[in-house]
Structure 1
């Protein structure tokens, strides 16, 4: 009896040792503690676009080929000398920033009076050869529909190129012709003509919505009548005016997002981290 009881106790100890791993396996795993996902700012491409207004001042220098005029018996004469002085311009417009890189606007500019000086040669009333001096001036309204490509913005500076098409109301004042026979006035002529322009320049961000715009514009106005008939001569015609202009102005955008303003941060969570198990 004693040996049997002793053997039973040993067997019980062995069985309890074997059951211990099984019981440990039934114990619940420790809880998973996940680190909080940090929120990182991710800057997304903003939607650009909006209306803007503009105002510009400029100085221009014009040139043209020698004007022509009709002589008494139908012959065509040309000015021996001619020159156009410089002049100023002032204008404004309204436009729309379609994308970050493309915009359009409609502009109207007034060109101040530009003096014309010329000279002709021929025969005076005495039948002797003589020369004359001729003076006049012109002013214009230039209406253009324009499109621009904004190349990109670096440190607030945005270079651009553009082109425009439209019309100009060119007004010639009276031509005063002076020769040994006296002074004669040829009435000036005004007309609408086809015009186009090519532009290049750069803008600079002054504020989030206001830009300083400095650039160059070449414009061409088609030819037309310059002055009328008087004292055995006329009418006269110019063959078109080419203008080189330096301009500076301000643009104010009051709709959409300007490329002068930084895009707003959009917070996007980072990918979920791997689970972290505590001991």
Structure 2
């Protein structure tokens, strides 16, 4: 009897052990903390280049007529539009702020003006005055990037610096107002050059082309203060211009050094091995 009970107990224990082994499931691995998400700040040096078209608005010009005590305005003072070329180096401080230094060349802009008064052939004369100018500008600029939407980043900016305005010789021909064929000889006035205070306001958008190249499309308003224009000759001059407002449409590109650097991808640690 005792032997039968012992045999039954051993068989029951063995069956229970086998069943337990069949239904055992390893404990789930503990949840790992999610990796911290780090938003990298864009920063680094870049080069830029620009081309554009400048709509030039001359604020006028004046000169000394007959003597140094009689200063009068030109009756008309028109300046043609011109093209511009630019280059610069800058630094992206963070995702929202960047700065650069730019050098711009404004191609030749022709000037046509006229004055009135007496001349050698009549008491009532009208002059024709022709010259041209070129401009070199050096500006320090700062920009605020207004967030990136897809691949487009709008921005606003401002700059300040100086411009060297170089006038060619002015050719002055005065003719009888009643008879335009009755004229004085043409006189030349030496063109002047001078550095002027300049400031600029910008708005536009940059477009991601590759990870380190951005296209740039924008508008710039540039104001150049007045200065010397031409010298004295035979009772006329010297003359000064009153400065310029320039409305510029520009396109260009920026190349960022290190713009393609990417952080290493996150790899989770291997799961613990569970032995049955």
Question: Structure 1 residue 51: deviation in Å?
Answer: 0.3
2:103: which partner in 1? 108
Larger CA Rg, structure 1 vs 2: 1
2:184: which partner in 1? 181
1:8: which partner in 2? none
Equivalent residues in 2 for 1:222-241, closer than 5 Å: 222-241=225-244
The TM-score with structure 2 as length reference comes to 0.81
1:242: which partner in 2? 245
Rate the CA distance shift 1:163–1:189 in 2: closer, same or farther, 3 A. Answer: same
1:204 paired with 2:207, answer yes
1:67 paired with 2:70, answer no
2:266: which partner in 1? 267
> Once the two structures are superposed, what CA deviation does each residue of 1:28-78 show, in whole Å capped at 9, x if it has no partner?
xx8961236479676520132000000100100111222010012320111
Would the aligned equivalents of 1:212 and 1:250 in 2 still touch at CA under 8 Å?
yes
- Unpaired runs of 5+ in structure 1? 1-29, 271-277
> Once the two structures are superposed, what CA deviation does each residue of 1:154-189 show, in whole Å capped at 9, x if it has no partner?
110000000001101110111111121121111100
Rate the CA distance shift 1:80–1:171 in 2: closer, same or farther, 3 A. Answer: same
2:47: which partner in 1? 53
Task: Name the structure, 1 or 2, with higher relative contact order (CA <8 Å, separation 6+).
Answer: 1
Q: RMSD of the TM alignment (CA)? A: 3.2
> Once the two structures are superposed, what CA deviation does each residue of 1:63-95 show, in whole Å capped at 9, x if it has no partner?
122201001232011111121111011110000
Count of aligned residue pairs for this structure pair: 249
Rate the CA distance shift 1:66–1:31 in 2: closer, same or farther, 3 A. Answer: closer
d(CA) in 2 for partners of 1:121 and 1:58?
Answer: 36
- Unpaired runs of 5+ in structure 2? 1-23, 175-182, 270-275
The TM-score with structure 1 as length reference comes to 0.80
Would the aligned equivalents of 1:41 and 1:266 in 2 still touch at CA under 8 Å?
no
Question: Structure 1 residue 127: deviation in Å?
Answer: 4.2
d(CA) in 1 for partners of 2:161 and 2:71?
Answer: 31
